Amino acid sequence: MQQDAEHSTQYGDQYIDGEWRPSLDAGSIPVLNPATEQVLATVPAGGTADVAAAVAAARRAARGWAATSREERLGPLTRLRDGLAGCQEEIAATVVAELGAPVGFATAVHAGLPVAVAGSYLALLADYPFEERIGNSVVLAEPAGVVAAITPWNYPLHQIVAKVVPALAAGCPVVLKPAEDTPLVARLFARLVDEAGFPAGVFNLVTGTGAAAGTALVGHPEVDVVSFTGSTAVGRTVAETAGRGIKRVALELGGKSANVVLPGADLARAVNVNIANVFANSGQTCSAWTRLLVHQDQYEEAVALAAKAAAKYVPGDPADPRTRIGPVVSARQRERVRGYITGALAEGARLVVGGADAPAGLETGFYVLPTILADVTNDMTVAQEEVFGPVLAVLAYRDEEHAAELANGTEYGLAGGVWAADTATAAAFARRLDTGQVDLNGGRFNPLAPFGGYKNSGLGRELGRHGLEEFLQHKSLQY
Ligand code: NAD
């Protein structure tokens, strides 16, 4: 995928109604390699015409797809999962090229996780109770209709699979509008859907900007469900438009998650895991633990441990298997992250490692130094707003009450961590947190557990049974 401007591929087509066809809208979007700043490809900037064609195709397919049995849906969904499993190298190479994720991480997470998530929906679909008896009623769980799926760039294939696969499993046709920065893995996904043999119109892809294609899709009267992942600011607009159309809406938005280390915990392990968590994917993870909360008596020890762990993260070429941290996705994102670092220092934070300068020897590419900020207080901008880059803020707390108050003291509530001497103590503390997910003493990510936010981190849940149910509506028959 390493092409320069003259040799980049110019795609002019969208995947609509079971085939690749020329875009009906004017304009194109360049896709850059964030490590080289070169143009990898251009994709069509779809707008109202492509969206209208895609939604019309989905609407035509809706009744037929809704009427299929679970076995009829399992056939193409299984082939899609197998297609994802068989293309992991190509998926990883595409995500390395358009997102800048290090190849090891791209292979394990960007390519590996979608296979696991798709597989989890095959198992769920095989025995989900689409009918249940409640008293004198039989309650049917029916598909909720035409789905608009709008996804961001940070986990570009995972976020597509986490919406499209449960929607298709539920019996809903989908129109996908992926992020402008990472449309190539979305095109690869559309190719795999095509090869899996779904009926025409059940899945459609429209690449384009949020302002044009995204707005047209959310406002389209024939869309029944909007499943959006992205920023809280855009999520608010999406929810307003969806609300006017009485469309169901699911929002997976931003986060400012806290990792709380209680006295008695394994401090070194808690800090090391936090560093790996916050620097993974160059910090572009909505659920990242961007605030490390440590008791004031252990504060300097924790800061020193964090600095030591951070030394292992040297920015470099994401295609090199030794690289742990690549660039951020775009020049805009790099400037945003650097702005947060400069702003935090101006507000009184202490720079432990990193900073706003470009890493030495990496003048080309959208690189940011992995950065740790100490002496951060919860009223600082860097403790309140989502940075979406490799930046960790370390905060001190006085006692458990204060720790809970700090952890809950942002507009967000997506994820978090608690470390304690034992699981029971960690679980008791986790119950006090206003957040959708909490990992206790380094508990592993579970692709079957509901994922989503409290407060301004969103509405609804993705993954597992809860994710499937976002695409179902209920009909009660009394007899
Ligand atoms: P973004 O909100 O700018 O864009 C997300 C998607 O929405 C893109 O496809 C974009 O084209 C589209 N969009 C933009 N404006 C639109 C509009 N007016 N109407 C319809 N669609 C529109 O976000 P981003 O910068 O691409 O992604 C980063 C953000 O996403 C971060 O805030 C991050 O926390 C959040 N995120 C959340 C989760 C989660 O599951 N909670 C996961 C990943 C990312």
Tokens 């294609």 locate to 213
Domains identified in the chain and CATH numbers: 5-253+458-478 (3.40.605.10), 258-447 (3.40.309.10)
Alpha carbon of 162 to ligand 1 centroid (Å)? 15
DSSP per-residue string spanning 298-317:
GHHHHHHHHHHHHTT--B--
Distance 348 CA to ligand 1 centre (A): 30
R_g (Cα) of the chain, nearest Å = 22
Q: Which of 55, 109, 207, 253 to probe ligand 1 with, by most ligand atoms within 8 A of CB? A: 253
Instruction: Please give the Cα distance from 327 to 137 (Å, whole number).
Output: 56
Q: Which of 87, 98, 180, 286 is catalytic?
A: 286
Pocket of ligand 1 (CB under 6 A): 150-154, 177, 179-180, 209-211, 214-215, 218, 229-231, 234, 237-238, 252-255, 286, 386, 388, 414, 453, 458
195 is known as an active-site residue = no
The pLDDT value recorded for residue 8 is 82
Q: How far apart are CA 109 and CA 257, in angstroms?
A: 20
Q: Is 252 a catalytic residue?
A: yes
CB 342 within 8 A of CB 373: no
244 within 8 A of 218, measured Cβ to Cβ: no
CA of 85 to the centre of ligand 1 (A): 26
**Residue 6: its pLDDT value, please?**
58
What is the pLDDT, as a whole number, of residue 1?
Answer: 39
Distance CA 463, CA 429 (A): 25
Would you tell me how many other CB atoms lie within 10 Å of the CB of residue 127?
A: 7
Residues contacting residue 368 through CB under 8 Å, at least 6 positions apart? 282, 315, 327, 328, 334, 337, 338, 354, 359, 389, 390
* DSSP secondary structure letter of residue 111: I
| C-alpha closest to that of 155 among 471, 367, 472, 463 | 463
Spell out the per-residue pLDDT of the chain, length 479, in tens: 334 555 689 999 999 999 999 999 999 999 999 999 999 999 999 999 999 999 999 999 999 999 999 999 999 999 999 999 999 999 999 999 999 999 999 999 999 999 999 999 999 999 999 999 999 999 999 999 999 999 999 999 999 999 999 999 999 999 999 999 999 999 999 999 999 999 999 999 999 999 999 999 999 999 999 999 999 999 999 999 999 999 999 999 999 999 999 999 999 999 999 999 999 999 999 999 999 999 999 999 999 999 999 999 999 999 999 999 999 999 999 999 999 999 999 999 999 999 999 999 999 999 999 999 999 999 999 999 999 999 999 999 999 999 999 999 999 999 999 999 999 999 999 999 999 999 999 999 999 999 999 999 999 999 999 999 999 999 999 99
Atom of ligand 1 nearest to the CA of 179: 9
